[in-house]
Structure 1
Amino acid sequence: MNAPRPLLLVDAPSLYFRAYFGIPESAAKAPDGSPVNAVRGFLDMLATLIRTRRPDRLVCALDHDWRPAWRVALLPSYKAHRVAPAGGEVVPDTLVPQVPLILDVLAAIGIPAVGAAGYEADDVLGTLAVTQPGPVEVASGDRDLFQLVDDAHPIRLLYCGRGVAKLEDYDDAAVRARYGVPATGYADFAALRGDPSDGLPGVAGVGEKTAARLVDRYGGLDGILTALGDPASGFAPGLRTKLEAARDYLAVAPKVVRVALDVPLPDFSTALPAAPVDEARLLELAEKWNLASPCRRLVDALTDAAA
């Protein structure tokens, strides 16, 4: 009996940012000279994922709110370094107009691109991962999504830190091998270690190895903080001092790091389209923006997956 085919959940912002920085603007331009490097790269990444993972369902998740107010209220430093002087996220000027074009192509093909007000793409991915039938594969270069890995569902992370062509397939054993903690402990581990890319300071003087050892020994932050209140718990004096100084941070950081699993989402079909739903519109976009080759590769991947 053939194994069930997966639901492929794609972190669209993660991939199109990587595409933008991975392909020179000079190598991908529309007839009018506009750069389309992010679009071309994203479509090719999507085609590669479909061809190699052979899903029968597919959803692209979007950031409708890249820095949700509820996370900032808990931790004001959250992504603060990425706020533009005029507000909003710092995004390269030549990437901004490419995002709507990516969405136009996805709509013409019939691939759902879903976001939710007040939530990040991570939260959309998390909600779909736990509410949709498995198997589920989440494609992203965001380390926070290691927390979604669940062998029982099953949910795997296709980590694209080195690109889609070199993606790393993570189950719980692989997460443990890389970080020394199970996927269920990753959010607490990340809060302890910190993540400068998200404005998470972590606990001063606590690196990956110490964070992993603490999570492994005490089961997570609740256990760590409980043990911290016990003078006989065996913490080294220096470590105890560091953790005590970070109590206020540790009370809120895990809530910031943890992916929301209950985001209200619209009704839509996750079924992988076998052919474009609006071929005329896709041809129009392909011709106008010099995207014939990546669009063809994506359509061919869809056709092959449906066969």
Structure 2
Amino acid sequence: MTERLMLLDTASLYFRAFFGVPDKVKAPDGSSVNATRGLLDIIAKLVTLYQPSQLIACWDDDWRPQWRVDLIPGYKAHRVVEEVAAAPDVEEVPDALQQQIPLIREVLGVLGIPIIGVAAHEADDVIGTLATHASLPVDIVTGDRDLFQLVDDSRDVRVIYTARGMSNLEVVTDQTVVAKYGVLPSQYADFATMRGDASDGLPGVKGIGEKTAAALLRSHGDLAGIRAAAAEGQLTATAAARFAETSDYLDVAPTVVKVATGLDISAPGTALGPLSDVDRDAAGALAEKWNLGTSMTRALSALASGS
């Protein structure tokens, strides 16, 4: 079996599980467990389909890092719960999901799946660092297209894209990115900077859509090359004016959009395999306590078969 590292964009997956699994089955105390059960089913499916030899749950220790907000104040601003002044930003998360997050962490723990987060950074940055420095092929599981910037056929780094649902997973390679957007993965961050993303509070360059952004990158290589061409009169007057009008944004946006790849991370190399009796007993007790049922059974079976 080929050794592969699988990196989970954990929040992306448990949000998908929460909204995709009906909240019908409850824990004995009446608590919601749909996100937890759904995440277990997702893990079981991913491990069965892609047979990773190592699995890491990457975590948002800070979903809206201040250093990114300092550069672009509107970054993810619409997701912030209105709180008292000077309070830390709190992401708007349904109560029934928020209450399951400690359980999700506990479940990952008994399954032997390491959780890795870094202070003042998002899971994307953890994924970026681990994927860039991995010594084996990597599968990144996410519904966030920003991580397409990490795809690299030469190092066998690909994205397992979940945006169309767990029944319609898409393996994203260099060819996929080129076919979809007309740019290389290495150009994707600059492409996203120009296009903008309302869901992240990134305005982009007015009047520069995906097709124009891709064409400019094909002609000039990267955002720096495009801006230089604009300054030297090589673009149309309209395009040059648009880049001039958004120069302040373009000065800082690439730092916000590009995922970090140089964080100080000591990643445990946890190989998949049969769980110890203690781990299996702990998983069984947790499943019984929280009514995780067949979802825990499927996850245990998938992980055990990965040996």
TM-score of the superposition, structure 2-length normalised? 0.95
Counterpart in 2 of 1:236?
236
State the AA in 2 paired with 1:40: R
Tell me the residue number matched to 1:266: 266
Residue among 183, 197, 201 paired with 1:195: 197
Residue 72 of structure 1 deviates from its aligned partner by: 0.8
| Counterpart contact for 1:49–1:164, Cα < 8 Å | no
In structure 2, what is the equivalent of residue 151 of structure 1?
A: 153
Shift of 1:34: 1.1
SS at match of 1:59: strand
Q: Give the match for residue 282 of structure 2.
A: 281
Task: Give per-residue Cα distances to partners, 1:24-73, cap 9 Å, x unaligned.
Answer: 22x23112221111111111001100000001111010000000111111
In the superposition, the TM-score normalised over structure 1's length comes to 0.95
Distance 1:200 1:271 in 2: 38
Q: Distance in 2 between matches of 1:263 and 1:291?
A: 35
Are positions 1:22 and 2:24 aligned together? no
Any gaps of 5 or more consecutive residues in structure 2? 84-88
1:63 aligns with 60
Question: Equivalents in 1 of 2:26, 2:217: separation in Å?
Answer: 48
**1:267 positional shift:** 4.5
Aligned partner of 1:180: which letter? G
Other structure's SS at 1:158 match: strand
Alpha-carbon distance in structure 1 between the residues aligned to 2:267 and 2:260: 18
Q: Is the 8 A contact 2:196 2:203 kept in 1?
A: yes
- Tell me the SS of whatever aligns to 1:89: coil
Within the candidate set 28, 32, 43, 1:35 is matched to 32
Q: How does 1:1-307 map to 2 (within 5 A)?
A: 4-25=2-23, 27-86=24-83, 87-231=89-233, 233=234, 235-275=235-275, 278-306=279-307
Deviation (angstroms), 1:290: 0.6
Q: Aligned residues: percent identity?
A: 49
Query: Higher mean Cα deviation, 130-139 or 261-270?
Result: 261-270
> Counterpart of 2:141 in 1: which secondary structure?
strand
SS of the residue 1:73 aligns to: helix
Q: Which whole-Å deviations, capped at 9, do the CAs of 1:146-195 have from their partners, x for residues lacking one? A: 00001111100111101222111011011000111000000000000000
Aligned 8 A contact 2:195 2:213 in 1: yes
Q: Secondary structure at the match of 1:169?
A: strand
Instruction: Deviation per CA, 1:250-289: give whole Å up to 9, x if none.
Output: 1111110000001122352332242256223212210111
Give the length in aligned residue pairs.
301
Q: What amino acid is aligned across from residue 22 of structure 1 in structure 2?
A: G
Task: Please report how far the alpha carbon of residue 294 of structure 1 lies from its aligned counterpart in structure 2 after TM superposition.
Answer: 0.6
How large is the Cα RMSD of the aligned pairs?
1.2
Equivalent residue letter for 1:79 = K
Distance (Å, rounded) in 2 between the aligned partners of 1:166 and 1:70: 36
Verify the 8 A CA contact 1:111 1:273 in the aligned structure 2. no
Alignment-mate amino acid for residue 8 of structure 2: V
Contact 2:58 2:115 in 1 (8 A): yes
Q: Is the 8 A contact 2:273 2:305 kept in 1?
A: no
- Say whether the 8 Å CA contact 1:194–1:203 is kept in structure 2: yes
Partner SS for 2:160: strand
Q: For the residues of structure 2 that align with 1:6 and 1:28, how far apart are their CA atoms? A: 34
| Mapped partners of 1:179, 1:193: distance in 2 | 11
